[in-house]
Structure 1
Amino acid sequence: MDKPSLAERRKQLVERCAEQRTSLAYELKALQPSQVGAEMLAEHPVAGYVVANRKMVLGVLGAGAVAALIGRKRLGGLAGIAGTLLRSWGTIRGLLGMLG
């Protein structure tokens, strides 16, 4: 049972790290949006808006799901509150812009 020398172990570790970096680079590239997707988003403005405003779209969808679960009687009141919030959103953004 020969133990490798420290220099040999270091060389093996450096090679292994290089392989892991290369593998990670390929994985990260696979996770990045492709150019084909970017072209599609440019052609479809609705899809581009959804991607650009992901959080807001998910919030609206979540609110819609909650409204559907609440029932019809409360849906009218909830719609009124949502309308009020949407109308005041521009004012809130303007105030935050002045503060920031």
Structure 2
Amino acid sequence: MIRAESEIVELWAGPAAERRFTNRWNRVGARGDEEGILLLAERFHGGDVLAKYIAYLKARAEAYVASPVVWPEIEAVAAALIDRLTLTFEETRAVIRDMWTSTIRSA
């Protein structure tokens, strides 16, 4: 179940980041994520517990995205995606590493 919870939080993270940036929830953009979340969460819970479980994991994703460590990383990756449209895992790691290196040097 722990792995599924991590996957659900990861699925919520994209829509949560968009909401934090735009100050609105993009229902259309989040639809695929929400469908995946429901499929995973239904394996463990049903009824009222299911809704509360999903809400709890959504809150965890929102808190994670809002973290003062994570949010600058999200902004750096988003800026890189504007220029490149796609990033590999290694390119994403490099963007984050470069952002922190620059931040440390300017401190």
Whichever structure has more helix as a proportion of its residues is 1
TM-score between both structures, scaled by the size of structure 2: 0.30
